[in-house]
């Protein structure tokens, strides 16, 4: 072997060693890169799972917000309708010269002829409002005027017109009870089946008279159904008057034959706001419903 040949072989071997070292370095670098890529892929998968979970949560929250917006809109509409009803009731009461607690009256929604209110303070130190120069229609000589909430439910309903009465209750017996009470207290109604009592009875109405009255009030009601409505209306009277009324069975004679009939009684000692004074005796309670 010549010297030149030996030198050439050494050079080739040296080059091969360099290439092998480079390959080793590249393989090591490639392995590191693969590990990095795998880690990044794992991280991307984790992030994608988080994104999916967040998107589901966003969708759930959007659906919940839509539901809550609908509930809120319904509540606002109902509150607005109730505010309108209260304003109409207060307007009617003020037009009747009522004195209402100032803190319960919002002048803005009031309708009709109530264009100006007068604020004043009574002897109890409480502020009230009224139409200017309106005396208390109950004429209680400076005592505290009744607010709407001081009245019995039957009185509150009786003050409503037919449209307001229908919007306030879906119960026909309750509406009939309110109209029956209105007939007792409002002479302008005309069709009044109540009769004056004696001794401890201020007024009363017979079940038979009530039946005929109901048929006059509700056109198309049969005699049989009117009898059922009498019982239900009596129950409504008791409930809405908070048992200020009483029920008594009375034996009478018709065509020479005895019969027993229920009567709804308003006793003289019954505590009716704005009509009677408080009594130490207990108010009348329900008797036999029959």
Q: Is the pLDDT of residue 120 over 90?
A: no
Least-confidence region, from 56-70, 74-88, 162-176, 189-203: 74-88
pLDDT the model gives residue 286 = 39
Least-confidence region, from 58-62, 167-171, 180-184: 167-171
Q: How confident is the model over 52-93, as pLDDT tens digits?
A: 999 999 989 999 999 999 889 888 888 888 888 888 888 887
Q: Count Cα neighbours of 45 within 13 Å in the Cβ-side half-sphere.
A: 6
pLDDT the model gives residue 112 = 62
pLDDT above 70 as % of the chain = 84
Locate the domains of the chain by residue range.
151-290
The tokens for 282 are 């207990």
pTM for this prediction: 0.49
Q: How confident is the model over 229-273, as pLDDT tens digits?
A: 999 999 999 999 999 999 998 877 777 777 788 999 999 888 888
Tell me the average pLDDT of the chain.
81
Q: Is the pLDDT of residue 205 over 60?
A: yes
Long-range interactions of 145-148: CB distance < 8 A, separation 24+? 145/98, 145/99, 145/100, 146/98, 146/273, 146/274, 147/100, 147/101, 147/104, 148/89, 148/90, 148/93, 148/100, 148/104
Burial 27-63 (b: 16+ CB within 10 A, else e): eeeeeeeeeeeeeeeeeeeeeeeeeeeeeeeeeeeee
Q: Is the pLDDT of residue 278 over 60?
A: no
Q: Supply φ then ψ for residue 68, to 5 degrees.
A: -65, -35
Of the two residues 88 and 290, the one the predictor is more confident about is 88
Rounded Cα gap, residues 58 and 50, in angstroms: 12
Least-confidence region, from 21-30, 42-51, 84-93, 265-274: 84-93
Q: Is the pLDDT of residue 12 over 50?
A: yes
Q: Is the pLDDT of residue 143 over 60?
A: no
Q: Is the pLDDT of residue 276 over 70?
A: no
pLDDT bin (cut points 50, 70, 90) of residue 2 is: low
pLDDT the model gives residue 230 = 93
DSSP reduced 3-state for 267:
strand
Mean pLDDT of 192-208: 91
Q: Count Cα neighbours of 228 within 13 Å in the Cβ-side half-sphere.
A: 5
């Amino acid at each position: 072997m010549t010297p030149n040949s030996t030198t050439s072989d050494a050079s080739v071997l040296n080059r091969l060693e360099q290439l092998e070292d480079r390959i080793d370095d590249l393989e090591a670098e490639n392995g590191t890169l693969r590990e990095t890529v795998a880690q990044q892929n794992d991280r991307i998968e984790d992030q994608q799972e988080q994104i999916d979970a967040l998107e589901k949560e966003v969708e759930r929250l959007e659906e919940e917000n839509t539901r809550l917006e609908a509930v809120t809109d319904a509540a606002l509409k109902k509150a607005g309708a109730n505010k309108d009803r209260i304003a109409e009731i207060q307007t009617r009461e003020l037009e009747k010269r009522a004195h209402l607690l100032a803190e319960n009256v919002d002048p803005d929604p009031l309708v009709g002829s109530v264009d100006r209110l007068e604020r004043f303070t009574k002897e109890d130190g409480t502020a009230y409002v009224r139409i200017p120069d309106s005396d208390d229609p109950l004429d209680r000589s400076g005592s505290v005027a009744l607010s709407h909430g001081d009245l019995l439910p039957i009185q509150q309903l009786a003050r409503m017109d037919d449209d307001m009465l229908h919007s306030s209750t879906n119960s026909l017996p309750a509406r009939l009870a309110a109209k029956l009470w209105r007939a007792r207290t409002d002479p302008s109604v005309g069709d009044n089946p109540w009769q004056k009592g004696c001794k401890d009875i201020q007024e009363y109405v017979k079940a038979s008279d009530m039946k005929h009255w109901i048929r006059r009030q509700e056109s198309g009601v049969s005699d049989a159904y009117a009898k059922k409505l009498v019982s239900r209306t009596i129950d409504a009277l008791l409930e809405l008057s908070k048992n200020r009324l009483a029920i008594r069975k009375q034996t009478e004679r018709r065509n020479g034959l005895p019969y027993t009939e229920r009567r709804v009684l308003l006793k003289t000692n019954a505590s009716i706001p704005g009509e009677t004074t408080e009594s130490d005796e207990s108010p009348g309670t329900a008797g036999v419903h029959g």
